[in-house]
Amino acid sequence: MTNTADPVEKKIHFSIMPQPDYFTCGPTCLQAVYQYYNDVLPLETVITGIPQLLTGGTLAVILACHALKRGYHATIYSYNLDVFDPTWFGLKTGQIRDKLIEQMKHKTSPRIQLISQNYLEFFELGGELRFAELTHRLIQKHLKKDTPILTGLSATYLYHSSREIGPNCDYDDIRGTPCGHFVVLCGYNRDHRTVRVADPLYPNPLKENHYYEVNLDRLISSILLGVLTDDANLLLIEPRRSE
């Protein structure tokens, strides 16, 4: 009889470079995912191809659009209720697209407009949006298939660091604000309830290298709290299957 039980431990052979500055964690993670699939691009090429927000950094959906244009399949699990209403969760892509367009008529803030426009492009390029409870089973399901998970989360909660302020992201527990970040999940230990993280920030407050294990509950909390910085998502990038 075949044993279909979940493995206790799973590690994906994954490597990541240091991000060159405070705001290039997203492109650095994306370049590492490309490299994992033997799609070798210079990091600088990926960085210059990813539009940066006025406040610095980028969005997972922008990273996804870059991958879609390179011929990959991209799936986003979003937990951003500021953009997606929970009643939309059962709708088809075309219906969600129509809802976003209607919402843009009423939510006119530049932030919502920008996020919505990028999701409309994501849909046009064939991206897939999913809604599912963020659980250990969801994370393990994809890692078991050797699919690294690029995630946007709250660095402030992940690191349990002070909030940050200024162009150099200085720690300031009084004047600072929460900071978002991108990392790649590349393994887990079910018995220890930990997830292996590839982090482009080097060194970082948790470890003086790119790889570490983090408690699963802390990771999930960090992802959900990423909504404070328009993160709160999982991004799966996979080669397209031949027809």
Domain residue extents for the chain: 9-239
Model pTM score:
0.94
Helix axes 60-69, 25-36, angle to 10 degrees: 40
> Which residues lie below 8 Å from residue 104, measured CB to CB, with a gap of 6+?
112, 113, 116, 117
Q: How far apart are CA 62 and CA 74, in angstroms?
A: 11
Look at residue 208 and tell me whether its pLDDT is greater than 70.
yes
Predicted local distance difference test score (pLDDT) of residue 127: 98
Q: What is the mean pLDDT of the chain?
A: 94
Cα dist from 224 to 61, 82, 99, 171, whole Å: 16, 13, 23, 22
Helix axes 110-124, 93-104, angle to 10 degrees: 150
Residue 229 is inside which H or E element, if any? none
**DSSP three-state, residue 164:** strand
At 186, which amino acid appears? C
Percent above pLDDT 90 for the chain: 90
Encode pLDDT of 33-91 as tens digits.
Answer: 999 999 999 999 999 999 999 888 999 999 999 999 999 999 999 999 999 999 999 99
pLDDT band (50, 70, 90) for residue 243: very low
The CATH number that domain 9-239 falls under is 3.90.70.10
> Which residues lie below 8 Å from residue 198, measured CB to CB, with a gap of 6+?
14, 15, 16, 29, 32, 148, 183, 184, 185, 186, 210, 211
Predicted local distance difference test score (pLDDT) of residue 112: 96
